[in-house]
Amino acid sequence: MNLASQRALVAQGCRVAASRGLVDGMLGHLSLRIDDGHLLIRCRSDTDTGVAFTRPSDIRLITLDGKAGAPGELDGYRVPNELPIHVETMRADAGHRAVAHVHPPAVVAADLAGIAIRPVYGAFDIPGARLARGGVPVYPRAVLIRNTQLAKEMVAAMGGRPLVILRGHGITSAAGSIEQSVLQAISIDELARMSLRVRAAGGTLRDIEDADWDHLPDLGSGFNTESAWRHEVARLDGQPS
């Protein structure tokens, strides 16, 4: 199978996440399900220079048990220790075709400070507000999720929501596309940053009024995803492609 375009998209998603400060250095990885038995995932090699410089060649086809999905796929590459995050998140929901596991410092800091991520603003970022409506679940263990048992605990904490905070660790964001999984992570990071700013200024965080939801329409995927992603890709200008 020819997976060139999918590899390029996953690599692009990694670079976007890094450009937004959601990952730093070598940590964090994205994946895309190809079929019931295979996924593409960012792997590491001895020449890896970090997530911000991810190349399509760093995106490898593997089976759900972490083996090479085709001859040569893992030659010189290692599957992430936290592969179970991706596998169990995808198994939990057929709609989860893409998973972004990233480490946004603002989200980690807000959670450790006891600040729940809530829809404290509306039209500033409607998709972000909708994502946080009803609260964002938290997996309370600050562990490396490197086995099925821990990954299933994380998925249980996720509770069917598209995103979960991993205390003292990062987040897992799941969606039907690479673009959406990363955009969700960006929105939660922005909510965390705003919440920390408000608290630092001595303010009190309050959810937006219930009546305001009627005036916060879904502007559609053309604006919320396609246009938003074009902007994120444009911000990468000057970085390796």
Query: What amino acid positions are annotated as catalytic residues?
Result: 82
What gap in Å lies between CA 93 and CA 90, rounded to an integer? 6
Q: Write the DSSP string, 54-66.
A: --GGGEEEEETTS
Backbone angles phi, psi at 34, to 5 degrees: -100, -45
Are β-strands 163-166 and 138-139 bridged in parallel, bridged antiparallel, or unpaired? parallel
Please return the burial class of 222, using the count of CB atoms within 10 Å of its CB with bins 0-12, 13-18 and 19+.
Answer: exposed
In angstroms, the Cα distances linking 194 to 74, 119, 162, 203 are 41, 11, 21, 11
What gap in Å lies between CA 39 and CA 1, rounded to an integer? 13
Nearest to 52 by CA among 82, 31, 68, 30: 30
E strands along the chain, which residues?
Answer: 29-35, 38-42, 59-63, 98-102, 138-139, 163-166, 170-175
What gap in Å lies between CA 140 and CA 108, rounded to an integer? 11
